[in-house]
Amino acid sequence: MNAAVHMKYADGTPVRLELSPGPMGGAIFSGENGKIEINRNKFTCNPPDLIKDLPPQEEIDKWRDEVALWQARYHMENWMACIKTRQKPVADVEIGHRSISIAHLANIARYLGRRLQWDPVREIFVGDDEANRLVERPQRPGFELPQIG
């Protein structure tokens, strides 16, 4: 099913999230100056000079096929190794949280079928109890997560 959600960041940057067929395990970002396509093992842009400042080589190396963190098994191995070594995982919790937040917010807006206002500092919908109930699922007694912040 194709669908679209229109969003606007606090600085006025517009974002249109479209749910439609695209690259397997990836995304296409289209803007005024061109297009970037990413998936689990490919990064391309059109025009080619759209990305002038690529990440440092050591950051790129984390995602090469030999490391294969795009495979769930290797994500788990990296995470378990970092528990033992106390190092930061390649894809740490902050990366995961920030990467998926926009999709969760878009899904809530799509589900409710109406305009919502998100407070990114407090991480709540402004004045919308119904939308806020969809931010996290009910927790079973004895398995509650502590409230942080």
- Domain boundary residue, one of 53, 69, 86: 53
* Residues 83 and 130 occupy one common structural domain: yes
How many domains are contained in the chain? Answer: 2
C-alpha 26/C-alpha 17 separation (Å) is 13
| pLDDT score recorded for residue 66 | 52
DSSP codes joined into one string, 85-117: H-PPPTT-HHHHHHHHHHHHHHHHHHHHTS---
pLDDT in tens, 59-106: 666 656 555 555 556 778 888 999 999 998 878 888 888 888 988 999
C-alpha 51/C-alpha 93 separation (Å) is 26
* Residues 74 and 2 occupy one common structural domain: no
Quick one: pLDDT band at residue 122, thresholds 50, 70, 90?
very high
C-alpha 23/C-alpha 35 separation (Å) is 13
Range of the domain at 72: 55-149
* Residues 35 and 72 occupy one common structural domain: no
Element (H, E) at 40: none
pLDDT in tens, 28-67: 888 888 888 877 667 778 888 887 776 666 766 665 655 5
* Residues 41 and 90 occupy one common structural domain: no
| pLDDT score recorded for residue 67 | 53
* Residues 71 and 17 occupy one common structural domain: no
